[in-house]
Amino acid sequence: MERVDTIGKTDEETDYNGWRNWESWNVAAWISNDEMIYSRAVFVAHHPDRYPRPFEALRDLVVAARHSSAKVHTPDGADWFDERLDVGELDEMITGMRTPWDVEPAAAEATK
């Protein structure tokens, strides 16, 4: 029997700690654990109208903050522009950084 994990992906779709691959996992780990990157991710999450593609916006902010397009890798060597990155999952992770009290009052009432 094929196991499906908590986010609805099969074992074949999650190869590395619940992520599609090492590159996606590593970028996600740096987003969650580096203060500068995390604070920019939260900023992007709080402005969905301004940043409809959260990961791409965050990536551009991170590269700009490093003042060089040459620094496009995490300290572990994952490339922020790697085609293997699971951008959809990274978008979902960043979007999830919004807390319920960050939602507009009318939207918060609608969820009750």
Answer yes or no: is 16 within a domain.
yes
Q: What phi and psi values does residue 71 have, to the nearest 5 degrees? A: -95, 70
Answer yes or no: is 106 within a domain.
no
Answer yes or no: is 108 within a domain.
no
Answer yes or no: is 41 within a domain.
yes
Greatest alpha-carbon pair distance for the chain in Å reads 50
Answer yes or no: is 112 within a domain.
no
pLDDT at residue number 14: 61
| Nearest residue to 103 via CA among 40, 50, 53, 48 | 48
For the entire predicted model, the pTM comes to 0.75
Question: What residues contact residue 47 under an 8 Å CB cut-off, 6+ apart?
Answer: none
Report the domain count for the chain. 1
Q: Is the pLDDT of residue 69 over 90?
A: no
Answer yes or no: is 79 within a domain.
yes
Q: What is the mean pLDDT of residues 57-79?
A: 85
For residue range 26-53, what is the model confidence (pLDDT) as tens digits?
999 999 999 999 999 999 999 999 999 9
| Nearest residue to 25 via CA among 15, 34, 37 | 15
Domain membership of residue 72 as a residue range: 11-99
